[in-house]
Amino acid sequence: MRFDVSGEEIREKDRRIVAFLAEQNLSGLIITGTRNFAWATCGRDNHVVKGSDGGVGHALYTADGGKYILCDNIEEARLKEEEGLEAQGFRFVTGAWHTFDPGAEAARITGSGTLAADTMMGGAKLTIVDGSELAPLRYELTPAEIERYKWLGSVTGEAMTVTAQAIDPGMTEHEVGAVLDHFLQDEGVTPYLTLVASDERIAKYRHPIPTDKAVERLVMYVTCAQAFGLIACATRIVSFGSIGSDLKKRHEACCLVDTVFNLSSKPGASIADVFEAGQEAYAARGYGDEWGLHHQGGATGYAGRDYKAVPGMAQTVRQNQAFAWNPSITGTKTEDTIIATADGPVVLTPAPDFPTVKVETSLGVMDRPAIWER
């Protein structure tokens, strides 16, 4: 899928970056990290190595509003032709792959002022800007980003349903993960994370990477699916046969906590209050200690989690900010990706035809994914 880049989004990204440079008294900023690069360039891609946080093209922004792509001759054609960065107003500064020094070129362009970068880079004296400083620039999604995110969420949700329908007892966890990943990749989406656990592994491990264990009765699968730099997270569970009363009770309690987290995530709300509401929901169903056994999720978007929520956290929910809450109670878990709006959460990753549980709370009502009894 390809989305056109709007001039409005380009101007908004440029505005936020130039304002950041002014606030930090910087002469320039080099953006190399893949998540920051995708955000700044409206969903374009500078990666070559999967799983690497560093890309092969460097976006340089200067205090006077200049924009440059610094890259060697290997990357120039693709970044121009396929990523379309010239059309976004970037000027290309390139050189031979064996001599080109992007840091030195950036220092030459920006002069004697303070030059910052989001990754380590040789060739210039740099002030490294870490994710905690740059990430807030990404929090409030633009209309164009939301459009891309909704497409990604739709693909991710469909992948969860297709996987539920395709897997059978006897398949290994690796094979379950392969079904999920194949569907995503077939749609041009990258599996940023794939977790699979079957039977007793669900209760034993909160981050279960797939193994060669065969599925018997129960399987949980998790994805963080990536496109345009954005990440959509979702978890689903399938049972081959009916689930027992204890697991049903646990899962319904987990759905309650998930609903409270989601409905509490309104623009302006403090993350500390959102987290406390989730803790109270755990306790209300008799599982007050479970929140301490695994993180509960938090802000997402261009990172799996821009931050993981913790008690007393000094953050607030932003307008049109993405969240992926993932409460778990031993043996079960729920998770979807939402956008926080004044009218309530917009669920990006609903899985079509996947059975749901209607959860009623004092905050409102939500449908959350049930365990699919096949």
**Tens-digit pLDDT profile for residues 225-242:** 999 999 999 999 999 999
Q: Do 182 and 194 meet the contact criterion of CB atoms below 8 Å apart?
A: no
> Considering the chain, what percentage of its residues have pLDDT values greater than 90?
94
Q: Look at residue 41 in the predicted model and tell me its pLDDT.
A: 98
Q: Look at residue 262 in the predicted model and tell me its pLDDT.
A: 98
Task: Identify the CATH number of the domain defined by range 143-373.
Answer: 3.90.230.10
Cα–Cα distance for residue pair 141/339, rounded to 1 Å: 9
Cα–Cα distance for residue pair 92/95, rounded to 1 Å: 10
Q: Do 363 and 258 meet the contact criterion of CB atoms below 8 Å apart?
A: no
Residue 75: which pLDDT band, with cuts at 50, 70 and 90? very high
Q: Look at residue 54 in the predicted model and tell me its pLDDT.
A: 85
Cα–Cα distance for residue pair 276/296, rounded to 1 Å: 11
| CATH for 7-138, options being 3.40.350.10, 3.40.50.920, 1.10.1300.10, 3.40.50.300 | 3.40.350.10
Per-residue pLDDT averaged across 150-175, rounded? 98
Q: Do 363 and 263 meet the contact criterion of CB atoms below 8 Å apart?
A: yes
User: Which residue from 329, 326, 301, 296 is spatially nearest to 313, judged by alpha carbons?
Assistant: 296
Residue 160: which pLDDT band, with cuts at 50, 70 and 90? very high
180-230 per-position pLDDT tens digit: 999 999 999 999 999 999 999 999 999 999 999 999 999 999 999 999 999
Q: Where are the alpha helices (DSSP H) in 82-206?
A: 102-110, 131-134, 143-166, 173-186, 200-204
Q: Is the pLDDT of residue 131 over 80?
A: no
Q: Is the pLDDT of residue 163 over 80?
A: yes
Distances (CA, A) of 282 to 244, 245, 374: 20, 18, 28
Cα–Cα distance for residue pair 181/190, rounded to 1 Å: 8
Per-residue pLDDT averaged across 254-278, rounded? 98
| Largest Cα span, the chain | 69
15-69 per-position pLDDT tens digit: 999 999 999 999 999 999 999 999 999 999 999 888 778 899 999 999 999 999 9
List every span in the chain annotated with CATH 3.40.350.10: 7-138
Residue 132: which pLDDT band, with cuts at 50, 70 and 90? confident
List every span in the chain annotated with CATH 3.90.230.10: 143-373
Average pLDDT along the chain: 96
Lowest-confidence segment of 126-130, 181-185, 269-273 by average pLDDT: 126-130
User: Which residue from 135, 128, 134, 117 is spatially nearest to 308, judged by alpha carbons?
Assistant: 135
What region does 111 belong to: left with phi over 0, alpha with psi -120 to 50, or beta?
left
Q: Do 50 and 81 meet the contact criterion of CB atoms below 8 Å apart?
A: no
For 37-86, give the secondary structure using H, E and C.
HHHHCCCCCCCCCCCCCEEEEEEEEECCCCEEEEEECCCHHHHHHCCCCH
Both tokens of residue 270?
Answer: 């403090």
298-354 per-position pLDDT tens digit: 999 999 999 999 999 999 999 999 999 999 999 999 999 999 999 999 999 999 999
Distances (CA, A) of 50 to 180, 185, 191, 192, 230: 18, 13, 10, 9, 15
